[in-house]
Structure 1
Amino acid sequence: MEIVVEPVVSFLVEKLGNLLIQEAISLIGLRAQVEWIETELGWMRSFLKDADAEQQGDERAKKWVRDVHGIAYDTEDVIDSFLLKVESLRGRGSLCSIKRCAFIVSELIARHKIASKIKHIKLKIDDISKRRTTYGIESIGRAEGSSSAGRSLQEWRLTSPNVQEPDFVGFEKDLEALVMRLTEGELRRCVVSVVGMGGLGKTTLTKKLYNTDSVKKHFHTHAWISVSQEYDVRDLLGVIVKRCLVLSNEELEMVEKMNVVELRDKISEYLNHKRYLVVLDDIWKGEAWDSLKDAFPDMNNGSRIVLTTRNKDVALYADARSQPHELRFLNNEESWKLFRKKAFPGQDGGCPRDLEVLGREIVEKCHCLPLAIVVIGGLLSRKEPREWENVCKTISWQFIKGDVKISSILSLSYNDLPHRLKPCFLYLGNFPEDYEFHTMELIRMWAAEGFLQQRGEETLEEVGEMFLKELIQRCMVQVAKRSSSGGIKSFRVHDLLRDLSISEAKEGKFLEVHHGNMNVTSASRARRLAIHHNDLSKYNSLTSSSPHVRSVLIYTQGYSWLQRKQEKFLYRGFKLLRVLCLHGAPIEKLPTEIGELVHLRYLGCTKTFLKSLPSSIGNLPSLQTLSVASFDNIKVPSTIGKMRQLRHLQVKGVDKLNYLGWVGPWGVIEGHPRLDQMSNLQTLSHVKAGKWMQSCLGKLTNLRKLGIGLVTGADAEVFNESIANLGCLQSLSIVTQGFEYKNQGSLVPLSPLLKLSKLRLEGRLEKLPESIEFPTNLTKLTLLFSCLNQDPLATLEKLKNLRILRLLSSSYRGKEMACAAQGFPRLKSLHLEGLHQLEEWTVEEGAMPSLLHLQINKCCHLKKLPGLQHVATLEKLELRDMPNEFKERVREEGEDWHKIHHIPSIDITNDKVEVTPDSLLGSRLFGVLN
């Protein structure tokens, strides 16, 4: 197992640098020692980047990295404890003279202890540095060869391409599509890439493709090369020569003496007049492609290179003009079919009835991953039926620990991650099985943990998005949902990869996951604790035995109320917390002790019953993210203005009309907080307008996302005066409540907001502003409950950069709508929902020339579809909750079928139509204003 330590050291070096800036460090005469530690750890950080890749195969390196890991954590504990003491000292500055004297004495004792610990750490670092030379670890990164595990796996991959998987299940359509790409299409030499996570079946599919008769007959010559992570360019070129050319013994001897350049020229010369197929199996980096590509000439004769990889970036690097073929997971029935073939060989896939229930349970635990199904099926084929139940109980453990092939293949992807991504991947183990990760939620946790370092003008959040995209490109996680603009809204991690992350993280004391059935009486050295259990009382012992814990993530699965003593476990035990996440904990309030967690950077309380936040929340000087979602409206104290590092404030409640599916967004900020001092604030969402806006809103010049509820016309006036100053604003959501906004036909002065790309307007409008008043770069617009009487399309179709338009929930109350020719030039997605009076919609030829996705929901009086036959770009049509008469028109042989038969994907549901009465419009409830 590999120990992730380099990011820990990087974070610590940065923290020491910040500490040296503070005057407080001089008070105890430790500046020289801390400077020495910072310098020495900085050198170690550089060295660790090489050691990171070598520790798998070198026990000396592994031991040395483990020592650095321990000293880095010890140093961090001492420094954080010191900073905690400094904050405590500041908080007691107003004590009476007698108590003050007693406190100073105790402080001197504490400082002496901290000074002694730092001196001890200095000695240990000095010893570790000397050991690096003594034991020859400095040669790391220059040693040849590879670990035995790596060699055995490479040998497994180097099997002949003619040895195929006899039980080929689930990839028939993939095979058909790839055969066409190899034998038809462009004449240029194309690279056809097959992309997917480890164990998904890339090599199995490619072997089947390579040996298909039509493929063999189409090409004059073929070669299969297994590249893998560790490769020698000369050896690979030699394999190509031997498999493509027919050589005598004398010529073979000459080949053995050729260098890389000569071998490339030899291959290129031979292939120059042939239509060839070369498979590069398991290629990991673009450098490998660069070293081989010159051997493959492009004679414009239909030659092909097939490349299998886990990294989509590598596929696009090899040929940006060729779309990678991304493999999917098997479905449930395909998984069951493959399992039967492996578990009962020679029986034509038959399964005894008494084993079917248990067999399907085992297959379900394989999570549709072909490699896992094949291995576990092969294992069970050699066991008696009475042993199946034991295998079922221990199946996850077998995947990670017991079966070399699965653990080795999955670990390859992890080991290949750059050092900056490894802690980000391991962090995924904190969350429950089958958890759907919300992108920004996780990225903000990464930032709080110190995994993200700012680069140039990029924000931490932008760096985090790049990290996530790289994990997706490497097939370590899968996109679950995309936003309407194409961004990653949420994602999932395959359960076997999650198991791998937990196993690797536990080995390196990175995190521990508790499910309620684990022994928690012994001390835990893990820096992070994830608790997926309702009863927190059994974890009370951890507070005294694990003071070093930096993150606690609790995901409860029930509604048992937390007792006061359980709250103490959270807030009084872990003084050095950076991340605290309470998901589903049925709490009504946070105790005042929360303000003692001065290192806290992320506080998340979702699916709770919170009604207010304590004023002590303002005592959290390091807090970056405060995210609260409650089943009630939430009062936010004015002390939040003291949190100068706060970047994201999200306070979301649900109002009493939630049964209608309407979400009441609002948190109430009390009094006159000095929000103008919060220069780092980027997100302020789901808050209600109030007194705080008058002197603060216009000074939050770093805001990127704002969601606000305007309750009165006076709120709107203050808002209009402030909004022009928010030049960084990218996303704006406005809800007007209880009044109709009137301002000479103008909604808000948005024109100066050049970065504003997303706008959501909810509530009654007198009319839409003119098209020239909208922000120039607006790409997404959502309207709800606007109750417009004039056709909004006449104005909106003139917005040249608009790509996404959503007209929802009585945003328009007229009977007719029309899209003129040349209207909506860049619109890609259009969503119409709850336009209950709409009867006729016309689309002229030439309108919406870029539209890809059209969704129409609950437009209960719409008689027919417009002329969509003219929209040749349309790829997907969704019709939901529409009247039966309408649906009959759009089915095959229906009156409107000729308008949509060219669309590749058509989704029509049979749900019952429900009309929302106009009397309910605008009746959403806010919390009480204070």
Structure 2
Amino acid sequence: MKDLSFCHCVHEDGESIAVGKARRLSITTSPANVLKSTNNSHFRAIHVFEKGGSLDDFMGKLCSQSRILKVLDIQDTSLNRIPKNLGNLFHLRYISLSNTKVQTLPKSIGELQNLETLDLRGTLVHEIPCEINKLTKLRRLVAFRRNYEVKYSILGFTTGVVMEKGIKNMTSLQNICYVEVDHGGVDLIEEMKMLKQLRKLGLRCIKREHGNALSAAIVEMQHLESLNLTAIAEDEIIDLNFVSSPPKLQKLHLKARLEKLPDWIPKLECLVKIRLGFSRLKDDPLQSLKNLPNLLKLTLWDKSYDGEVLHFQNEGFQKLKQLILGHLNRVNSILIEKGALLSLERLQMESIPRLKEVPSSIKLLDKLKHIDLIDMPDEFVKSIDPDNGHNHWIIKHVTLVLIRHWFGPKYYDYDIRIINSSSKES
């Protein structure tokens, strides 16, 4: 592999590095001594896979010597900090610091004029230095952290980053998430009108007064394929009545109080996934969404609907494959007419306290393979018990039924019971 000038792998402590041909370096051992005995200026890409040991000396030497480096992948390592002279790596196009312990970025990041991707997922970085606005070639800025030490909630599970004004200069951006816009406010959102190449946009901490600026900015994003918007609080009403909607939008997450479903949503012919939360809709949203021609996944979550009945009408949701209903405190009945949900394969229901029985029309869903029930009422769960549940016949044709119950404060703190068609319980 070295002779082909493709890659050199370092996987034993003290192994020397061949100089001259290899342009890509993969390190699966402690990198502390890897660069000490070699001239590493010829490497174009470095990937570090080792989690143990300190990376501070390694990064210091790297930023001083590897001037032609284009790819730096240090994700899932024990890296704590980035050297101030990171800007020396002028030719860098890709940096992944994902799932490291890095807390801040140096101001010299603004010198990386060729950078196209900056991956900060799972880091402790919360403030992005204003110098990043100089990166006119940057296409992808992904920066958020999820807290698996707590049970999922819309507001408390994901943390984004704050950015300074000047984002309008980053005109090559195609993907940016998640920016907490309560810091930059209306001025920051208005600058986003210049990001006309955006394909994916994720914003958090949106306030009511941001509505008009946000609508005006999104109208300019004609290439937008994914839009994820979260309000600063669950009772914050956001006006999202756009003059026109992004014509190519495929994924839409709206976690804000709407009261009325915006008129432009049922017109999204390319929409594949939609998730609503905090919406507090008074009218059944299914009537507006049922004819979306390409919708594959629908999530109604956390007070998205304030009504009592969800009604899936005949011929509605013909392509839908996954349906998720959760934390709908007032829903007590789910009606599924014959001819609706004909393609449905997965159904998840979580914490719907007033829904006491499984909808009998689930029996009509021939393609349904998987049902996931989480923290549903005891009466509901007992009714589908394979031994003596009077409604077990309704879900008997489903290949796998999972019954989960959260018992602790963390995301994965739940016990699980499995029911399927081949064995009553395991």
Determine if the TM-score, normalized by the shorter chain, exceeds 0.5: yes
Which amino acid counterpart does residue 826 of structure 1 have in structure 2?
Answer: K
On the 8 A contact 1:817/1:840 being kept in 2, the answer is yes
Aligned AA (1:840): S
Counterparts of 1:527 and 1:915, CA distance in 2: 47
| Residues 584 and 849 (structure 1), Cα distance of their counterparts in 2 relative to 1, 3 Å cut | closer
- 1:644 matched to 2:136? The reply is yes
Aligned to 1:887: 381
Amino acid of the structure 2 residue aligned with 1:644: T
| SS at 2:150 equivalent | helix
What residue in structure 2 maps to residue 713 of structure 1?
A: 208
- SS of the residue corresponding to residue 103 of structure 2 reads coil
Is the 8 Å Cα contact of residues 603 and 627 (structure 1) preserved in structure 2? yes
Structure 1 residues 856 and 750: CA distance shift in structure 2, 3 A: farther
Amino acid at match of 1:514: V
Q: Which of 402, 407, 420 is equivalent to 1:908?
A: 402
Cα shift at 1:582: 1.4
SS in structure 1 at match of 2:72:
strand
Q: Specify the alignment match of 2:297 in structure 1.
A: 804
1:735 aligns with 2:242: no
User: C-alpha distance in 2, partners of 1:630/1:826?
Assistant: 34
2:382 alignment partner, SS class: helix
Once residues 288 and 258 of structure 2 are traced to their aligned partners in structure 1, the CA distance between those partners, rounded to angstroms, is 14
Contact kept in structure 2, 1:741 and 1:747, CA below 8 Å = no
CA contact (8 A) 2:270 2:294 kept: yes
The one-letter code matched in structure 2 to 1:723 is: I
Between the aligned partners of 2:209 and 2:170, the Cα distance in structure 1 is 24
Deviation at 1:519, TM superposition (A): 1.3
User: Cα distance 1:532–1:765, how it changes in 2: closer, same or farther (>3 A)?
Assistant: farther
2:124 is paired with a residue whose SS is coil
Shift of 1:861: 4.0
Matched with 2:170 is 678
Q: CA deviation at 1:705?
A: 0.7
Q: CA deviation at 1:584?
A: 2.9
The one-letter code sitting in structure 2 at the alignment partner of 1:517 is: D
Residue 631 of structure 1 contacts residue 654 of structure 1 at CA under 8 Å; is this kept in 2?
no
Structure 1 residues 884 and 513, CA gap change in structure 2 (3 angstroms)? farther
1:508 matched to 2:8 = no
Q: What is the CA-CA distance between 1:532 and the residue it aligns to?
A: 2.4
Corresponding residue for residue 101 of structure 2: 609
Q: How many residues align?
A: 402
Alignment equivalent of 1:878, drawn from 358, 362, 372? 372
Distance 1:845 1:910 in 2: 29
Q: Which has the larger radius of gyration?
A: 1
Checking the alignment, whether the CA contact within 8 Å between 1:613 and 1:634 is kept in structure 2 is no
Q: Write the mapping of 1:594-605 to structure 2, written as runs, cut at 5 A.
A: 594-605=86-97
Summarize the alignment of residues 490-509 of structure 1 with structure 2, pairs less than 5 Å apart: 505-509=1-5
Instruction: Tell whether the 8 Å contact from 1:647 to 1:682 is kept in structure 2 after alignment.
Output: yes
Match of 2:112 in 1: 620
SS of the aligned residue for 2:121 comes to strand
The amino acid that maps onto 1:888 is K
User: 1:572 corresponds to which letter in structure 2?
Assistant: S
The residue type paired with residue 8 of structure 2 is E
Superposed counterparts of 1:342-491, under 5 Å: none
1:583 — aligned with what?
75
Deviations 1:284-336 (A, max 9, x none): xxxxxxxxxxxxxxxxxxxxxxxxxxxxxxxxxxxxxxxxxxxxxxxxxxxxx
The aligned counterpart of 2:240 is 747
Q: State the 1:591 CA deviation.
A: 2.0
Letter of the 2:160 partner, please give it.
W
Give the alignment partner of residue 84 of structure 2, picking from 592, 595, 603: 592
Q: Using the alignment, how far apart are the partners of 2:314 and 2:301 within structure 1?
A: 24
Counterpart amino acid of residue 24 in structure 2 = R
- Which of the two has greater strand per residue? 2
For 1:199-598, what aligned pairs fall within 5 Å after superposition? 505-520=1-16, 523=19, 525-533=21-29, 535-542=30-37, 544-558=38-52, 560-563=53-56, 565-598=57-90
Report the CA distance shift for 1:651/1:871 in structure 2 as closer, same or farther (over 3 A): same
Q: 1:844 to 1:521 in 2, by over 3 A?
A: closer
Q: Distance in 2 between matches of 1:750 and 1:720?
A: 8
Q: Deviations over 1:135-171 (max 9, x none)?
A: xxxxxxxxxxxxxxxxxxxxxxxxxxxxxxxxxxxxx
Q: Give secondary structure in 2 for the equivalent of 1:686.
A: strand
Alpha-carbon contact 1:580-1:600 (below 8 Å) kept: yes
Could you tell me how far apart the structure 1 residues matched to 2:389 and 2:264 are?
38
Task: Please identify which structure carries the higher helix content.
Answer: 1
Q: Is the 8 A contact 1:803 1:827 kept in 2?
A: yes
**Partner residue of 2:250 out of 757, 761, 777:** 757
Aligned AA (1:508): L
Counterpart position of 1:214: none
Q: 1:569 to 1:524 in 2, by over 3 A?
A: farther
Matched, 1:795 2:293: no
User: 1:648 is aligned with what amino acid?
Assistant: R
2:74 aligned counterpart, secondary structure:
strand
**Pairwise CA distance, 1:758:** 0.8
Secondary structure of residue in 1 paired with 2:177: strand
Q: Which amino acid aligns with 1:548?
A: H
C-alpha distance in structure 2 between counterparts of 1:660 and 1:900, whole Å: 28
Q: 1:710 to 1:786 in 2, by over 3 A?
A: same
Q: Which has the higher contact order (CA 8 A, sep 6+)?
A: 2
- Give runs of aligned pairs for residues 174-189 of structure 1, distance below 5 A: none
- Name the counterpart of 1:852: 345
What is the deviation of 1:889? 2.1
2:273 aligned partner? 780
Paired letter, 2:321: K
Quote the Cα distance in structure 2 between the aligned partners of 1:898 and 1:739: 39
**Counterpart in 2 of 1:660?**
151
Per-residue CA deviations over 1:714-771 (Å, capped at 9, x if unaligned) read 323211111101000011100111364546xx53417431101110112333332247
Q: 1:739 to 1:888 in 2, by over 3 A?
A: closer
Question: Structure 1 residue 617: deviation in Å?
Answer: 1.0
User: Does structure 2 conserve the Cα–Cα contact (< 8 Å) formed by 1:580 and 1:604?
Assistant: yes
**What corresponds to 2:422 in structure 1?**
none
SS class of match (1:537): helix
Which segments of structure 1 move beyond 6 Å, counting only runs of 4 or more? Answer: 913-916
Residue 889 to residue 753, structure 1, CA distance change in 2 (3 Å): same
Which residue does 2:121 correspond to in 1? 629
Any residues of structure 2 matched to 1:140-179 within 5 Å, and which? none
Deviations 1:198-256 (A, max 9, x none): xxxxxxxxxxxxxxxxxxxxxxxxxxxxxxxxxxxxxxxxxxxxxxxxxxxxxxxxxxx
Cα displacement (A) at 1:649: 1.1
- Counterparts of 1:722 and 1:915, CA distance in 2: 39
Task: Report the secondary structure of 1:621's partner residue.
Answer: coil
Query: For residues 874 and 591 of structure 1, what CA distance do their matches in structure 2 show?
Result: 53
Q: Deviations over 1:519-558 (max 9, x none)?
A: 137647421111223x43211325x422201111112324
Q: Map Cα deviations across residues 363-415 of structure 1 (whole Å, 9 max, x no partner).
A: xxxxxxxxxxxxxxxxxxxxxxxxxxxxxxxxxxxxxxxxxxxxxxxxxxxxx
Aligned AA for 1:762?
A: K
Distance in 2 between the 1:772 and 1:681 partners? 25
The CA distance in 2 between the partners of 1:707 and 1:700, in whole Å, is: 13
Structure 2 distance, partners of 1:608, 1:906, is: 37
**Compared CA separation, residues 814 and 766, structure 1 to 2 (3 A):** same
- Equivalent-residue separation in structure 2 for 1:785 and 1:869 (angstroms): 30
Matching residue's letter, 2:28 = H
What letter matches 1:660 in structure 2?
K
Q: Contact 2:304–2:328 at 8 Å: present in 1 too?
A: yes
**Contact 1:658–1:664 (CA under 8 A) maintained in structure 2:** no
Letter in 2 for 1:767: K
Contact 2:32–2:54 (8 Å) recurs in 1: no
SS at match of 1:513: strand
CA-CA distance at 1:788 after TM superposition: 4.0
TM-score normalised by L of structure 1: 0.40
Residues of 1 paired with 2:17 and 2:195: CA distance? 48
Q: Partner letter of residue 898 of structure 1?
A: W
State the distance in 2 between where 1:569 and 1:897 align: 65
Counterparts of 2:323 and 2:66 in 1: how far apart (Å)? 49
What does residue 693 of structure 1 align with? 188
Conserved? CA contact 1:723–1:750, under 8 Å: no
* Contact map agreement 1:679 1:700 (CA 8 A) in 2: yes
Residue aligned with 1:709, SS? strand
